[in-house]
Amino acid sequence: MTSTDNRTGSRRDQLLETATDLFYRNGCHTTGIDKVLAEAGVAKMTLYKHFGSKDNLVLAACERFHERVRDQFEEAVNEEGLTARERLEALFSFMDRWAQQEEFWGCPSINLAVQYPQHDHPIHQAAAGHKQFRIEYVANLAEEAGLQNPKDVARQLVLLIEGVTVMAQVTGDHSLVEDARAAASTIIARAAGELS
């Protein structure tokens, strides 16, 4: 790669990183492209060359959001030595830490779906795809843990995760994570045959 290619790639990455942070913090519709370009320190031509439009930049930021949250999510539950069941329970420890971060502005995918409410919009579809990924990921953990009806368990646990994410964002009450964790423990115990 030439030095020109490096500069071009770094301008693209700088624009995408800046857009990802601004869109997450302030919303896509309220963040003008001029603000993104100014904060990224790049010209409008960089946007058009690499993304073509603001919507395409938002879509790329959506994928970057997903990568970040997915990586944090997986890192939290893949600690060495945890059983599959402990990994399921670790999901709520992750939620607790995430919701207490200073830069917590809720779930990026939920925020995007609200801003792009038409179900056939590519950005809404990308957000929905991220939620489907989460259900499948949790279902795999539930299956590894030997729980009955792992897909149903996953849907129930993800509903708790999504619900507590929204409630923590809206109310600022992080203690709600403990309520979600208690409900999750009941769901897991029942699926493990420990409760009637």
pLDDT in tens, 53-72: 999 999 999 999 888 888 88
For the entire predicted model, the pTM comes to 0.85
In a domain, 37, yes or no: yes
Domain region containing 70:
62-191
| pLDDT computed for residue 3 by the predictor | 40
Residue 125 has pLDDT above 80, yes or no: yes
Query: Regarding predicted confidence, which is higher, 2 or 122?
Result: 122
The beta-carbon contacts of 6-14 under 8 Å, at least 24 apart in sequence, are: 8/49, 11/40, 11/42, 11/46, 11/50, 12/46, 12/50, 14/40, 14/41, 14/42
Number of domains in the chain: 2
d(CA 147, CA 145): 6
CA 148 vs. chain centroid, Å, equals: 27
* Whether 82 and 131 share a structural domain: yes
- Residue 64 CB neighbours (<10 A): 19
- Amino acid identity of residue 146, one-letter, is G
Tell me what the mean pLDDT of segment 26-46 comes to: 94
Tell me what the mean pLDDT of segment 77-105 comes to: 86
In a domain, 196, yes or no: no
Tell me what the mean pLDDT of segment 149-161 comes to: 97
